Amino acid sequence: MALNFDLDETQQGLQNMARDFAENEIKPQAEEHDRDAKFPMEIAKKAHELGLMNPGFPEYCGGLGLGIKEEVIIAEAMGAACTGISTALGANMLAAAPLLAVDDEGINKRFLAPMMEEVLFASYGVTEPGCGSDVAGVKTTAKKVGNDYVINGTKQWITGAKYANWFYVLSSTDAAAGHKGLTCFVIPADSEGITVQKKEDMMGQRASSTHAISFDDVKVSEENRLGAEGEGFKISMKAFDKTRPGVAAGACGIIRAAMEYSKQYAMERTSFGMPIAMHQAVSFMVAEMAMKYEAAMLLTYKSAWMIDNGTRNTKYASFAKGFAADAAMESATNAVQVYGGYGYSREYPVEKLMRDAKIYQIYEGTSQIQRLIIAKELFLRNA
Ligand SMILES: Cc1cc2nc3c(=O)[nH]c(=O)nc-3n(C[C@H](O)[C@H](O)[C@H](O)COP(=O)(O)OP(=O)(O)OC[C@H]3O[C@@H](n4cnc5c(N)ncnc54)[C@H](O)[C@@H]3O)c2cc1C
């Protein structure tokens, strides 16, 4: 199939709507949500009404069944306005990704369908205090007792946990089997024995809410096991093929915002009798942002296009996520540079971009882990 990343009429309409929403409903609220670390509940309600939340939920759950490309379009648009808010709204797609990958209709109807009816949230619980990159090191246990499992353990840095109605939780059913002994569950948040800890005080993306969760003898029905015992690692990793293009798109939003702010400021600010844009050292920083935005978007679209067309995209999802994350950090840092002293001040928008960008090099697999995956694809799979 020929590569074509042009937006068709429907996708163009979606982009226009998402960018209007970002400009009018997110951007004016970004500073307050960042300063006060305020969860964007009201914005979520409006986004939900417009169909900008949960875009990939299947039609049999009342969803629109949109592809990853559409998710990318929404994430890029919202990301350019505030990635704290867009992460809070987009976390549902991360939690749902393993469910969509397994496509167990019973589980999806119980957990995804209600999220189309009203504004509900869900969280993806894999990371633990002792392991993040090394997912195989998960220590949370799930012990079979009759037709139930009993879950014990702690999950760390879980996006949206306080607002979640359910958690996707990776746990070990067979410690001796390592990553082949991991099993995943969908656990209602009101189950007895679950404690969501305090909101973490984060450097950036402060509108998003991050918490530890502890599971203390939490009983889960066998019906809530996703896939078979021992398939949890594979399912969790497969989910990233679907989510990393959307995460890369959020980082692309930061690059575009950095570029737009820098271009405008460089034409207005003068030094040595001319706009600073006339100094090549400044204009080259903006040129670099434009170049990286285009390259990051192309990689992001390609990784989305591949999975939407049924092609394994693991290497490309890591290309997109790794490249866009690093380019977002570089572009945001250079936007601060273009603004000079004003860039360092909280009264101007670019220092927030720099704080927000950093997490893209950490969550959903660090920049080092993206390279590890790419190297494995090259050397072990000859991809
Ligand atoms: C704001 C925020 C939101 C998050 N949301 C979620 C969420 O919703 N759900 C969830 O499950 N997790 C979430 N996380 C966790 C996140 O995915 C992890 O922090 C991340 O995967 C890194 O794991 P770690 O923090 O344990 O770092 P470590 O794995 O301890 O890594 C530390 C450093 O060592 C490097 N490193 C580790 N191993 C290797 C290696 N083999 N080769 C080269 N370098 C290596 C890493 O790149 C990193 O630089 C979130 C984290 C944050 C901060």
* Catalytic site residue from 25, 70, 351, 364: 364
Can you give 76-114 as a three-state secondary structure string?
A: HHHHHHCHHHHHHHHHHHHHHHHHHHHCCHHHHHHHCHH
How many angstroms does the Cα of residue 128 sit away from the middle of ligand 1? Answer: 10
Say which CATH superfamily domain 233-379 falls into.
Butyryl-CoA Dehydrogenase, subunit A, domain 3 (1.20.140.10)
Ligand 1: distance of its center to the CA of 359 in Å?
A: 10
Cβ of residue 132 lying under 6 Å from some atom of ligand 1? yes
**Residue 4 confidence class, pLDDT cut points 50, 70, 90:** confident
| Any ligand 1 atom below 6 A from CB of 368 | yes
Query: What are 245-289's pLDDT values in tens digits?
Result: 999 999 999 999 999 999 999 999 999 999 999 999 999 999 999
The structure's pTM equals: 0.97
The pLDDT value given to residue 1: 67
> Is 159 a pocket residue for ligand 1 (Cβ < 6 Å)?
yes
| Ligand 1 within 6 A of CB of 366 | yes
Give distance in angstroms: CA of 108 to centre of ligand 1.
28
- Break the chain into its structural domains and give their ranges: 9-120, 122-230, 233-379
Residue in 135, 199, 363 to alter for ligand 1 test, most ligand atoms within 8 A of Cβ: 363
> What torsion, rounded to 10 degrees, do the Cα atoms 293, 299, 302, 304 define?
-80
CATH superfamily to which 9-120 belongs: Acyl-CoA dehydrogenase/oxidase, N-terminal domain (1.10.540.10)
Query: CB within 8 A of 311, min separation 6: which ones?
Result: none
| pLDDT tens profile 81-126 | 999 999 999 999 999 999 999 999 999 999 999 999 999 999 999 9
Do the bridges between strand 164-172 and strand 121-125 make them parallel or antiparallel, or are there none, so unpaired? parallel
Task: For residue 49, give the amino acid letter.
Answer: E
Three-state DSSP at 242 gives helix
CB atoms within 10 A of CB 24: 12
- pLDDT of 235 higher than 90: yes
Does the CB atom of residue 199 touch ligand 1 within 6 A? Answer: no
CA 109 to centroid of ligand 1, rounded, Å: 31
CATH number of 122-230: 2.40.110.10
DSSP tag of 61: G
281-313 per-position pLDDT tens digit: 999 999 999 999 999 999 999 999 999 999 999
125 in contact with ligand 1, CB cutoff 6 A: yes
**Ligand 1 pocket mutation pick from 127, 131, 168 by most atoms within 8 angstroms of CB:** 127
Closest ligand 1 atom number to CA of residue 367:
47
Q: What is the DSSP annotation of 123-185?
A: EEE--BTTBSS-GGG---EEEEETTEEEEEEEEEEEETGGGEEEEEEEEES-GGGGGGGEEEE
Beta strands 148-159 and 164-172 are unpaired
In what helix (H) or strand (E) does residue 235 lie, and over which residues does it extend?
A: helix 232-268
| Average pLDDT of the chain to the nearest whole number | 97
Is 364 marked active-site?
yes
Q: What is the pLDDT of residue 2?
A: 73
Q: Is the CB of 16 under 6 A from ligand 1?
A: no
Q: How many CA atoms lie within 13 A of 375 on its CB side?
A: 6
What is the whole-number distance in angstroms between the Cα of residue 192 and the centre of ligand 1? 28
Residue 382 binned pLDDT confidence (cut-offs 50, 70, 90): confident
pLDDT for 34-74, tens place per residue? 999 999 999 999 999 999 999 999 999 999 999 999 999 99
